[in-house]
Structures are given as C-alpha cells and as structure tokens.
Amino acid sequence: MKKILVLCTGNSCRSQLAEGFLRHFGNKKDIQVYSAGIETHGLNPMAVQTMEEIGIDISGHTSNHLDEYADIDFDFVITVCDNAKESCPYFPTKAQKFHQNFPDPAKAKGTEEEVKNEFRKVRELIKVYALDFLKKIETHP
C-alpha cells in the first residue's frame, strides 16, 4: 500500500482538490491518500462545489494539520504551493517529495462567475497533475 500526502498552506483548496482527484483516479490502485496543511483553514465551500460539478464528492474531507500524520510512514509527499514546500518539515521516512505550485483559487477576485472560473482553472491544472502523478508512481517500486 503506497501512502501519499498532499500538502499545502491551509488544507482548504488545492490539497483538497488533489486529494479528491488522487482518490478518484487511484481508487483501483493500492494507494492511500491524505491531505494536510501547515495551517488549517477549513474546507473551502467553493472547492467542494467545483469538484461536485464534475461528479467528485469531497464534502466529507476535513482540513487537517500536518502534525496529525506524524506517525504515518509516507511513500510520497506532494507539495502544491511554494509556501508549503518551503515550510515542509523533514519526514523521517523514505518519502519521495514532489512539488508543483498551483495558483490559490481562494485568492481570486472579481465577480462570482470570475471566482468560479478561477477555481475551475485550478481544478483542471490539478486534475492533469494528479493523472500524471499516478502514472509516475505505477512504475515506482
């Protein structure tokens, strides 16, 4: 069983979207997916709505602090924002680290539709990354 941690600043948007995609697309693989933040900002309702639009339910996700997973021996740690990468603690495990900085849709400004479109744009970027990541780890021992 491969254990994956997706890490971002507040565990409210980007890491939640990534966790949702990795679980959805990796559901037949031998993986466990977790997400956390170096802070906890709560699950962003717009992230839930954006995933719901494409049939993925993340409404049951919780915003978790990294410390909650201190005892888990992760195989992979994915940071999805530069702040998390810079603040990411040393994991005393064999965890292989990956990093991809995604824009923070929670910081989007404008009309409601413009904000929704920013969430959708980031969702699609994360979807492509998640699919690519799952292909990469299929060949990982």
Which residues have a catalytic role annotated? 8, 81, 88
CA dihedral for 86, 69, 90, 125, sign (positive or negative): negative
Cα–Cα distance measured from residue 46 to residue 108, given in angstroms and rounded to the nearest whole number: 11
**What is the phi/psi pair of residue 74, to 5°?**
-75, 145
Identity (one letter) of the amino acid at 134? L
Cα–Cα distance measured from residue 33 to residue 4, given in angstroms and rounded to the nearest whole number: 5
Total residue count of the chain as it appears in this document: 141
In this structure, are residues 15 and 50 in contact, taking their beta carbons and an 8 Å threshold? Answer: no
Which tokens belong to 99? Answer: 């990093």
